[in-house]
Amino acid sequence: MDGKGWTNWAEGVAFGLENGMAVIPYALLKHYRKLGLSGSEAMLLIHLLSFRQVEGIEFPSMEELQQVTGRSISVIAGELQKLMKEGFISIDGDNDELRDIHYERYNFSGLYSKLGSYLAEAAKQSAQGQDKGAFAPDLRAAAHHSGAAAPDGGYGRPAAPGAGVEAEESRSLFSIFEKEFGRPLSPMECENISGWVDQDRYPEELILLALKESVFAGKLHFRYIDRILLEWARNRVKNAQDVKNYSQKFRNGGR
Is the confidence at residue 182, as pLDDT, over 50?
A: yes
For the chain, where are the alpha helices, taking DSSP H only?
3-18, 26-31, 39-50, 62-69, 73-85, 109-127, 139-146, 163-181, 187-198, 204-217, 222-234, 240-251
53 domain residue, yes or no? yes
Q: Which domain holds residue 103?
A: 3-111
Specify which residues 95 forms β-bridges with.
Answer: 102
Half-sphere exposure of 169 (CA within 13 A, CB side): 19
Q: Are the CB atoms for 117 and 146 separated by under 8 Å?
A: yes
Position 248 confidence tier, pLDDT thresholds 50, 70, 90: confident
Give kind and range of the element (H or E) at residue 94: strand 90-96
For residue 132, what pLDDT is reported? 47
For residue 142, what pLDDT is reported? 42
For residue 1, what pLDDT is reported? 59
The domain that holds 65 is classified in CATH as 1.10.10.10
For residue 87, what pLDDT is reported? 92
For residue 50, what pLDDT is reported? 92
182 domain residue, yes or no? yes
Please give the average per-residue pLDDT across 190-207, as a whole number.
87
142 domain residue, yes or no? no
